[in-house]
Chain A
Amino acid sequence: MAQPTAEIRHLLARTGFGMAKPEEIDALSGRPYAEAVERLLDSVSPKPHLTTPDWLNVPLIAQIEANLPKEKRDAMQMERRDDQRELKAWWWAEMLNTPRPFTEHMVLFWHNHFTSAVNKVNRPELMFKQTALFRTYAIGNFEKLVKAAAKDPAMLVYLDTNSNRAGNPNENFARELMELFTLGEGRGYTELDVREAARSFTGWRVVTGNTNAGFKVEGTLHDGGTKKFMGRTGRFDGDDIIDIILEQPQVAEFIVEKLWLNFVNDAPDPADVQKLARQFRDSKYELRPVIASILKSDAFRDPDNRGALVKSPTDLIVGTFRVIGTPPANPSLYPAVGRALGQDLLDPPNVKGWPGGLAWIDTSLLPARNAFMHGVAAGVDVQATGKQTLATQARRDMKNLPVTVIDPAKVKALNAMPKDQLAELILPVSPAGGIAAPAGSGTLGTLLLDPTFQLK
């Protein structure tokens, strides 16, 4: 074998959902590491694995007009709530089922960067369109991604560009564009820049009506006057503003730092960040090569770096069930589990998204995560012994997921592995031990309860 399996496991855990299936590790093993990285990058696809919900094919972009009769308004709102639930369930199912977890990992990364929340956007079909955009540009060109995200209908609604008009500018999008999406808070822009940028985005609108949601500039609402932005003067529009922002070297540093925190560890090395940022800028913001460099870097590959990141709730749930689960019969149950553990996908807590890192675990969230893993371990035990019933407490711990989400055949195969090999598959580092595994839980169950299972 050309590469130790542990290194491929690490690569897949960090680019997927915290762990990897044995067959996924096998498929990338036995070749030079750099080649494995390129194979992984090749796997990214703009096309989701599952078919999309039916209602997405029906253009239903019409506004809920205040002048519609109340019954009609209520009915439309009810339908949207249902669609919203279905959309969340669909994305969880996609993450659980896709043969390309790296794609969904990147969709989630961009969802947490260019945040929007369905509870404000209120139109699930627009939120789907936004995640589709992230799938398209997952590891594509960042400049194109920023410009597309600025015109994305869900974003136009979420950050109020849709109500930004000449004479009465709304600064919401302009501020977050600089603070959260490109430059970073306080890195080289002023309050005046925010105001002038806001003027430049005036008149940007969601196209509504019985067509697919789109983007247009409403000329009468656009402020065509001269703006002074970051030392430049001109009749700028939104794209000009983005061009000027992307000329600033801080952008590449900010994005590289964020990629580092996502893939490598909580302590980006300033010299490495500088080097990678230069590469990112020189490539005109191509994401694939800079991500490849990160994944091939000494820091990423350092064995001491394994287990240095805390799993997100999505990692914990999706990663676990990708390895031991059945294809979900009822994916609508998963969003509630994510919510209980602190990550309600498509409804981030605010425009900053989930802070992540160590913040995934605090004294209020740890018991929920632990209880969940206790439930799963009990479920593993039930499926291993063929008892087929789960105690009330375990059902509660599993947040009402049925025990049938755990695949008895997978549990059997895993428990048949030599202990050391199984530990290397399930955990990022050697077990920390000191756990009180419930009587009866087999080797697999014990590993799932180890504190190091919370890490990736």
Chain B
Amino acid sequence: MNRRDFLRTAAVAPLVSFVPFNLAHAAARWDRILVLIELQGGNDGLNTVVPYADPKYAEYRPTIKLGRDRILQLDEKLGLNPELAPMMKLWQSKQLAVVNGVGYPDPNLSHFRGIDIWHTATDSNQAATVGWISEVFKHGEAPPADYAADGIVVGRGSVGPLKAPDRRILVLENGGAAAMNEAKRMAAPAMGGGGNAALAHVLQTQQSFKMSSAAVLAKNVDRVDPGATFPAGDFGSQLAMAARLLGGGVQVPVIKATIGGFDTHATQLADQTPLLNQLGAGIAAFSDAMKKHGLWDRVLVMTYSEFGRRPRENGSGGTDHGTAAPHFITGGKVKGGLYGQQPSLTDLEDGQNLKHTTHFRSMYATAAQEWWGIPTPFIKEKALGLIAT
């Protein structure tokens, strides 16, 4: 029995004794929404939140370092990449948390295995098939049955953190036309009336899908004003879709968006710059949109990526797969500021990689415990304490 199984078994009976009393009886805050943004490919942290004052930074990156004069300073040591300028107003209004050094022990530098670890919240030597959010729903509390879905993926990204056979997940690529089309032509299944468990599962899933789609279709989200101008491109469209869903009143606790292309092994400056530009403009526009819809206090936006990148640039003007990296958490209820230690640039793992200072599961504990008020006995790491009460 591994650690997680033990905790699951233990969690069945004396659940109350595992959680603080103030959480034990409180209902989950299902009026609150988590918006996840996956930075696909492994975003380079050192050129995102730049340790501009550390001489090692310039030394490690002779051709891809960002000039000190261009950095948007957060404090006397760290600053944002200038492409993230639109996010500075969130920083100034103290609603942007920058979580430094996010990673985990024995890091895996494969894209596939790395994202699998992040999606399932397992230790690096464990494999699981259920996503971490679905674990939260399964062992804590599930979203209300009358919600449109347990989660909506906007765009082509994987269902990753929501993966589970029995969860109601809608995938709405390109504005969701294909899924809605499928829902319309899929007849309401004839339920009941014998059949085996497999057939029952097919019909049940079909019915769930139809009900979720109907709940989205009923809100006519196509006609909802997103509430802001989003950057051009696929990522901007995904966030605009998210804004229309929420603005239109679709009830859902999780939305996931994805922006890809961060695997910058070569010509990183040329490749990462436009991506961070879209990320910064997208998050800022989403925040504006949520404010306009009166939802900003009900939204928590969180970025994640399978790994960070190597401190030293390689011979191709890029960086290879690395370990820890900073991530952003923002929302109307977020207490802005710097969280977690910036990893040392001199004390490196095997002389190569950043040592993580914040376990990524602390971010998940923050979302589950602080944001939704759901106890998560399978996460031993502490929440970051960044949600205002």
A residues lining the B interface (CB < 8 Å):
70, 117, 119-120, 171-172, 175, 185-186, 266, 304, 307-310, 347, 349-352, 355, 358-359, 361-364, 366-367, 370-371, 374, 393, 396, 429, 432-436, 438, 451-452, 454-455
| In the assembled complex, B135 has its CB within 8 A of some CB on chain A | no
Query: Do A361 and B165 touch (CB < 8 A)?
Result: yes
Query: Do A434 and B188 touch (CB < 8 A)?
Result: yes
How does the 8 Å CB contact mask read for B174-199 relative to A, with 1 for contact and 0 for none? 00001101110111111000011111
State which of B149, B165, B179, B189 has its C-beta within 8 Å of the C-beta of A367: B179
Q: How far is the CB of A448 from chain B (nearest CB, A)?
A: 14
Query: Do A350 and B181 touch (CB < 8 A)?
Result: no
State which of A119, A185, A374, A451 has its C-beta within 8 Å of the C-beta of B189: A451
Query: Do B165 and A358 touch (CB < 8 A)?
Result: yes
Binds A, one of B47-55, B89-97, B201-209, B337-345: B201-209
User: 9 pairs across A/B with beta carbons < 8 Å?
Assistant: A119-B110, A120-B112, A120-B113, A186-B5, A362-B205, A364-B159, A436-B187, A452-B199, A455-B202
Q: Could you say which residues of chain B place their CB within 8 Å of the CB of A374?
A: 182, 185
State which of B159, B170, B201 has its C-beta within 8 Å of the C-beta of A358: B201
CA–CA, A171 and B201, complex, Å: 38
Given A355-B129, A451-B199, A455-B202, are A364 and B171 neighbors across the interface (CB < 8 Å)? yes
How does the 8 Å CB contact mask read for B121-155 relative to A, with 1 for contact and 0 for none? 00001011100000000000000000001000100
Query: Do B167 and A308 touch (CB < 8 A)?
Result: no
CA–CA, A433 and B187, complex, Å: 10
Q: Which among A70, A119, A374, A451 has the greatest number of chain B C-beta atoms within 10 A?
A: A451
Query: Do B125 and A362 touch (CB < 8 A)?
Result: no
Query: Do A362 and B187 touch (CB < 8 A)?
Result: no
| In the assembled complex, B361 has its CB within 8 A of some CB on chain A | no
Q: How far is the CB of A354 from chain B (nearest CB, A)?
A: 9
Closest chain A residue to B180 by CB distance?
Answer: A367
Contact count band on B: 35 or more
| In the assembled complex, B232 has its CB within 8 A of some CB on chain A | no
Query: Do B186 and A309 touch (CB < 8 A)?
Result: no
Query: Do A350 and B112 touch (CB < 8 A)?
Result: yes
CA–CA, A374 and B113, complex, Å: 34
| In the assembled complex, B59 has its CB within 8 A of some CB on chain A | no
Q: Could you say which residues of chain A place their CB within 8 Å of the CB of B315?
A: 70
State which of A186, A371, A432, A452 has its C-beta within 8 Å of the C-beta of B178: A371
Q: Could you say which residues of chain A place their CB within 8 Å of the CB of B188?
A: 434
CA–CA, A351 and B117, complex, Å: 12
Q: Could you say which residues of chain A place their CB within 8 Å of the CB of B206?
A: 366, 370, 451
Interface residues of B in 1-54 (CB under 8 A from A): 1-2, 5
CA–CA, A397 and B316, complex, Å: 41
Given A349-B116, A355-B129, A367-B209, are A432 and B203 neighbors across the interface (CB < 8 Å)? yes
CA–CA, A350 and B164, complex, Å: 15
Query: Do A436 and B212 touch (CB < 8 A)?
Result: no
Query: Do B165 and A436 touch (CB < 8 A)?
Result: no
- Identify 7 new A-B residue pairs, CB closer than 8 A, beyond the known A119-B112, A432-B195: A117-B112, A304-B196, A308-B196, A362-B205, A364-B153, A396-B178, A434-B188
Q: Could you say which residues of chain A place their CB within 8 Å of the CB of B195?
A: 432
B residues lining the A interface (CB < 8 Å):
1-2, 5, 110-113, 116, 125, 127-129, 149, 153, 159, 164-171, 178-179, 181-183, 185-190, 195-199, 201-203, 205-206, 208-209, 212, 315-316
Query: Do A364 and B170 touch (CB < 8 A)?
Result: yes
CA–CA, A361 and B196, complex, Å: 15
CA–CA, A185 and B125, complex, Å: 13
Q: How far is the CB of A385 from chain B (nearest CB, A)?
A: 20
State which of A172, A308, A370, A396 has its C-beta within 8 Å of the C-beta of B198: A308
CA–CA, A172 and B111, complex, Å: 17
Query: Do B183 and A367 touch (CB < 8 A)?
Result: yes
Q: Could you say which residues of chain A place their CB within 8 Å of the CB of B125?
A: 171-172, 175
State which of A117, A120, A349, A434 has its C-beta within 8 Å of the C-beta of B190: A434
Q: Could you say which residues of chain A place their CB within 8 Å of the CB of B159?
A: 364
CA–CA, A454 and B201, complex, Å: 11
CA–CA, A219 and B222, complex, Å: 67
Query: Do B186 and A370 touch (CB < 8 A)?
Result: yes
CA–CA, A304 and B197, complex, Å: 11
Query: Do A367 and B182 touch (CB < 8 A)?
Result: yes
CA–CA, A436 and B171, complex, Å: 22
Q: How far is the CB of B148 from chain A (nearest CB, A)?
A: 11
Query: Do B202 and A308 touch (CB < 8 A)?
Result: no
CA–CA, A185 and B122, complex, Å: 15
Q: Could you say which residues of chain B place their CB within 8 Å of the CB of A309?
A: 198
Q: State the 7 A-B residue pairs at the shortest beta-carbon distance, nearest first.
A: A434-B190, A436-B187, A359-B165, A367-B182, A352-B127, A363-B209, A355-B129
CA–CA, A370 and B187, complex, Å: 11
Query: Do B169 and A362 touch (CB < 8 A)?
Result: yes
Q: How far is the CB of A446 from chain B (nearest CB, A)?
A: 12
CA–CA, A374 and B129, complex, Å: 29
Q: How far is the CB of B105 from chain A (nearest CB, A)?
A: 14
Query: Do A366 and B205 touch (CB < 8 A)?
Result: yes
